[in-house]
Amino acid sequence: MNCKECNNEGYTLQPDYYHDVMMRVNCVECMSHEKMKQELRVKLTMVLMDLSMNRMARLLSDTLISLVDADDNPDFERLVALVGAKNKESLVSLLQVMV
pLDDT tens sequence across 40-80: 999 988 888 888 889 989 998 999 999 989 888 888 898 89
pLDDT tens sequence across 80-93: 999 999 989 999 99
**How much is the average pLDDT of 13-20?**
89
User: In this structure, what DSSP letter does residue 16 have?
Assistant: E
pLDDT score of 4 = 85
**How much is the average pLDDT of 10-27?**
90
Delimit the domains of the chain by residue range. Answer: 1-50, 52-99
Alpha-carbon gap, residue 50 to 43, rounded angstroms? 12
DSSP string, 26-86: E-HHHHHHHHHHHHHHHHHHHHHTTS-HHHHHHHHHHHHHHHHHHSSS--HHHHHHHHHTT
Q: List Cβ neighbours of 53 (8 Å cut-off, separation of 6 or more).
A: none
Amino acid at 64: L
pLDDT score of 3 = 85
Above 80 in pLDDT, residue 1? no
pLDDT score of 97 = 87
CA distances from 68 to 56, 58, 64, 77, 96 (A): 18, 15, 6, 11, 12
Read off the pTM.
0.62
Alpha-carbon gap, residue 15 to 90, rounded angstroms? 46
Percent of the chain residues past pLDDT 90, beyond the cut: 37
